[in-house]
Structure 1
């Protein structure tokens, strides 16, 4: 079973780099991809894999450092407002529509609640930094990695 972990974020804006930091733990263990932003390049990164995990910083109003998991039950009904503002969920839906046989059978999105994505810094906030090992453990469990 081919698996990929995709980290999304900008390492120069404090907590926005959390997805990229999480992916570093898996380099050399499983295929990894880092994306500074998302568009149709996300579909390209998913094609040909059986299982995928996408990790990113999120802002949902929860406590910073909280881990939020999204799966098919959630993102199947989420729609973006227009073609210039595609959400990650809409991009995945387009991927399944255009490449149904090449997209992963399973995709899980792991979000880490961010605190600060505006300060120029390569260091995450303490609460977000503390969440990284928890996110890594969840991904390992999901992918069956020891």
Structure 2
């Protein structure tokens, strides 16, 4: 089964880089790709994979560092209201309409609640940093990846 983890974020705006930091932890363990924003590039990145996890910072109103998960049961019913700023949910739905045979059979979105995405910094806030190991563990569990020792 071909699996992929997609990290989304801007590494220069504090907590907005959390998706990229999570992907860094999984490099060499599973296929990964890092994207700087939500765009149709997501579709290009995930075509041909069976199972995909997308990780990003979110603002859902929970405590900073909280991990939220969105399965297709949730996002299948969320619609974007504009045409210039499509949500990740809308982009994935478009992918399934355009490429139904090539899109992944399973997609899960994992978000880490952010605290600060406006400060110019390459370091995440302490609560968000503390959530990274748990997010990585959840991804490994979901993908059924056993602990891999880093040979470095």
Tell me the TM-score normalised to structure 1 length.
0.99
Q: Following the alignment from structure 1 to structure 2, what is the Cα–Cα distance between the partners of residues 48 and 72?
A: 18
Name 1:71's counterpart in structure 2: 71
Q: CA deviation at 1:25?
A: 1.0
Name 2:102's counterpart in structure 1: 102
Q: CA deviation at 1:104?
A: 0.4
Deviations 1:47-81 (A, max 9, x none): 00000000000001100000000001100000001
Q: Following the alignment from structure 2 to structure 1, what is the Cα–Cα distance between the partners of residues 113 and 10?
A: 15
SS at match of 2:55: strand
Name 1:6's counterpart in structure 2: 6
The equivalences for 1:1-146 within 5 A come to 1-146=1-146
Which runs of at least 4 in structure 1 moved beyond 2 Å after TM superposition? none
Which structure 2 segments of 5+ residues have no match?
147-152
Q: CA deviation at 1:38?
A: 1.5
Tell me the TM-score normalised to structure 2 length.
0.95
SS at match of 1:120: coil
Q: Following the alignment from structure 1 to structure 2, what is the Cα–Cα distance between the partners of residues 100 and 41?
A: 17
Q: Following the alignment from structure 1 to structure 2, what is the Cα–Cα distance between the partners of residues 82 and 65?
A: 29
SS at match of 1:25: helix
Deviations 1:78-136 (A, max 9, x none): 00012101000000000000000000000000000000000000110000000000000
Name 2:149's counterpart in structure 1: none
**What RMSD in Å do the two structures reach over aligned CA positions?**
0.5
Which structure 1 segments of 5+ residues have no match?
none
